[in-house]
Amino acid sequence: MDRPAAGESEMQPGFDVDAMLGKLAKWLRILGFDAAYPCVAPSKGRIFVSARKQAPFAIDVVITSAKLAVQFDELWEQTDIRPDPGLLFRRCLHCNLPVQEIRKEKASGKVPHGVFQITETFRQCPGCGKIYWEGSHVERTRGRVDQLTASVR
């Protein structure tokens, strides 16, 4: 289970997402939320999101749809949580840790040469070492984020 580092900023609530909602967990991370996945039970102080309707513990958010956009509508409807646009692309999609900006030189040899030549800003996950940059996919992803957050704007 991917958990954030101790002492991490508590700007946004943390989610524990059950194993049936992997795509939702990924997109919560894209939005900048701390989304531990897969989780079988809630952790103290975190919001448990599940596709199960019944469990031997409290489920904070019950997701009934298989469609991602509807899942987000259900999440927004069942909580008072709203995404912070400033946190978009600020978490590692693999480790769930906040990514940190690194000097361009540190990305040399670790990203495609063409990307290195045209990109000035890189971020790296302190856990797995994955390096992120703003590539051509970002505009498509922003469009999808707009769709997923349309009901709360």
Domain that holds residue 121: 100-147
Across 142-150, average pLDDT: 92
Instruction: Please check the confidence at residue 9 and state whether its pLDDT lies above 90.
Output: no
Residue type, 1: M
- Tens-place pLDDT, residues 68-119: 999 999 999 999 999 999 999 999 999 999 999 999 999 999 999 999 999 9
CA distance linking residue 104 with residue 5, whole number of Å: 25
Q: What would the DSSP string read from start to end of 55-118?
A: -SS--SEE---SSHHHHHHHHHHH------GGGTT-B-TTT-PBPEEE-HHHHTTTS-HHHHHH
Instruction: Please check the confidence at residue 2 and state whether its pLDDT lies above 70.
Output: no
Query: Which residue among 39, 62, 89 closes a domain?
Result: 89
Q: With respect to residue 153, please indicate whether it lies within any of the assigned structural domains.
A: no
Q: Are residues 68 and 37 in the same domain?
A: yes
pLDDT for residue 121: 97
- Tens-place pLDDT, residues 28-65: 999 999 999 999 999 999 999 999 999 999 999 999 99
Q: With respect to residue 83, please indicate whether it lies within any of the assigned structural domains.
A: yes
What is the count of structural domains for the chain?
Answer: 2
Query: Which residue among 65, 89, 113 closes a domain?
Result: 89
pLDDT category of residue 5 using cuts at 50, 70 and 90:
very low
CA distance linking residue 39 with residue 21, whole number of Å: 10
Q: What proportions of the chain, in percent to the nearest 5, are helix, strand and coil?
A: 30, 20, 50
Q: Tell if the pTM clears 0.75, that is, is over it.
A: yes
Query: Which residue among 47, 65, 89 closes a domain?
Result: 89
